[in-house]
Amino acid sequence: MLKHFFIFAILALYLGSNNCFESKDWDYFVFAQQWPPAACLDVPHGKCLIPEGVREWTVHGLWPTSHKGYPSFCNSSWPFRPELIKSLVQVLEIKWPNIYANTSEYSFWKHEWSKHGTCAATETMFNSEYKYFKRSLILHDDYNIFEILRKTGIYPDDSQPHMLSFIEHALTVELKKSVKLFCKNHKAYSKPILTSMYICLTKDLQIIDCDEIKEPTCQGTFVYYLPFSNSTGIR
């Protein structure tokens, strides 16, 4: 029996190391942004707190991606060090905020670095914690979803839903590439609520179509684009 245990342990170690190696192989980035008033719906037990000053779409993460999925936690020997992004904190609080109440300010950033940043670091452009967060903040400004929608007359409104195709068209025309929009149903609304979106980028950050993403996207004719004023009213 002991012999079988050791054989199993060695096999598990071998398979685990193989998965770890494969998980580091990726092809492009998903730049995920979320709409804070709606993203709060995904925070367990309604413990969501949108920091003061946040009024636009915010970064969820910059995720190395392949057709197999998202490689994760690629380098456990590269821990998150808050002091390395100290100069970025003021901007991160607005453009990449932690909306989870009763958690440390750095907890969300720590998670994203450990899970995704250590995978992105195989590319020279992202081979430090500072570079990963700094470059993500630049992408947020390059792809300001709030402004793109505003320019086409699409504003947050909890009394009147928007046509999903109109939102998709506005983004596609401006970005010249397809994106993915995600929604969530809520009992307080008769239509899905727009919560987040993906933009896809090459390793050198050229925008590409998000055709390979197979995750379930927004469905239906209309969606709600919630205003900040109601961000705490429907939990």
Question: Is residue 140 annotated as part of the catalytic site, yes or no?
Answer: no
Q: Domain ranges for the chain, please list them.
A: 27-230
Q: How far is CA 80 from CA 90, 94, 165, 168, 219, in A?
A: 18, 20, 40, 36, 37
Q: Beta 193-201 vs 28-34: how paired, if at all?
A: antiparallel
Mean pLDDT of 212-235: 81
Beta strands in the chain (DSSP E): 28-34, 58-65, 157-163, 180-184, 193-201, 207-208, 222-225
Cβ atoms within 10 Å, residue 151: 11
Mean pLDDT of 173-188: 95
Most confident listed range (43-47, 62-66, 186-190): 62-66
* Domain 27-230 part of CATH 3.40.50.620: no
* Residue 38: predicted pLDDT: 95
* Residue 144: predicted pLDDT: 96
Could you give the CA distance from residue 189 to residue 224 in angstroms, rounded to a whole number? 8
Could you give the CA distance from residue 109 to residue 93 in angstroms, rounded to a whole number? 10
Kindly tell me if the per-residue pLDDT of 82 is higher than 80.
Answer: yes
Mean pLDDT of 120-133: 97
Which residue among the candidates 83, 93, 112, 174 is catalytic per the annotation?
112
Question: Is residue 186 annotated as part of the catalytic site, yes or no?
Answer: no
Per-residue burial over 165-186, b if 16 or more Cβ lie within 10 Å, else e, is eebbebbeebeebbbbbbbbeb
CA angle 35, 98, 187 (to 5 degrees): 45
Could you give the CA distance from residue 118 to residue 111 in angstroms, rounded to a whole number? 10
Q: Which of 77-81, 151-155, 230-234 has the lowest mean pLDDT?
A: 230-234
* Residue 92: predicted pLDDT: 98
Residue-wise pLDDT tens digits, 6-62:
333 333 333 333 333 345 789 999 999 999 999 998 888 778 999 999 999 999 999
Which residue among the candidates 45, 52, 111, 116 is catalytic per the annotation?
116
Which residue among the candidates 4, 52, 60, 129 is catalytic per the annotation?
60
3-state helix, strand, coil in the chain (%, to 5): 40, 20, 40
The pair of structure tokens assigned to 203 is 């390793």
Q: Which has the closest alpha carbon to 203: 113, 143, 120, 112? A: 120
Average pLDDT, the chain: 88
Could you give the CA distance from residue 228 to residue 17 in angstroms, rounded to a whole number? 45
Question: Is residue 60 annotated as part of the catalytic site, yes or no?
Answer: yes
* Residue 24: predicted pLDDT: 75
